[in-house]
Structure 1
Amino acid sequence: MKVLLVSDSHGKGNLLNQIIERESPDHVIHCGDFCTDRDQLPSVSMTVVKGNCDWEDVPEEAIWEGAGLRFYVTHGDKWRVKTTPLPVKYRGEEVGANIVCFGHSHYPFCEKMGDVLLLNPGSISYPRGFPYPTYACLEVVNKQVKATYHQIDGKEIHERGGIFSF
Structure 2
Amino acid sequence: MRKYLIVSDTHGRDDNFYDVLDIEEPLNGIIHCGDFEGSEGKYALAANCPVYFVAGNNDFFSNLSRELEFKLDGHTFFVTHGHNYMVSMDLEYIRSEGISRGADIICFGHTHKPVAKIIGGVYVFNPGSLSYPRQEGRRPSYIVLSVDDNHEIEYEIKYL
- Identify whether the pair has TM-score above 0.5, normalized to the shorter chain: yes
TM-score by length of 1: 0.87
1:39-79 Cα shifts (integer Å, max 9, x gaps)? 22233311000100012110000013211111110000000
Residue-pair matches, total: 152
- Residue of structure 2 in register with 1:46 after alignment: 51
1:61/1:145 CA distance change after superposition, 3 Å: same
Contact 2:116–2:156, Cα closer than 8 Å, also in 1 = no
Q: Secondary structure at the match of 1:33?
A: coil
Q: Secondary structure at the match of 2:70?
A: strand
Q: Which runs of 4+ in 1 moved over 4 A?
A: none
Q: Secondary structure at the match of 1:17?
A: helix
Aligned residue identity for 1:10: H
Contiguous gaps of at least 5 residues in structure 1: 153-166
1:130-150 Cα shifts (integer Å, max 9, x gaps)? 311100100111221111111
Cα RMSD for the two superposed structures = 1.2
Question: What pairs up with 1:1-166 in 2 under 5 angstroms?
Answer: 1-24=2-25, 25-43=27-45, 44=47, 45-54=50-59, 55-131=61-137, 132-141=139-148, 142-152=150-160
Contact 1:17–1:42, Cα closer than 8 Å, also in 2 = no
Identity of aligned residues (%): 34
Q: Secondary structure at the match of 2:78?
A: strand
Contact 2:147–2:153, Cα closer than 8 Å, also in 1 = yes
Deviation of 1:37 after TM superposition, in Å, equals 4.7
Contiguous gaps of at least 5 residues in structure 2: none
Q: Which of 1 and 2 has higher RCO (CA within 8 Å, sep 6+)?
A: 2
Aligned residue identity for 2:20: I
TM-score by length of 2: 0.90
Q: Secondary structure at the match of 1:126?
A: coil
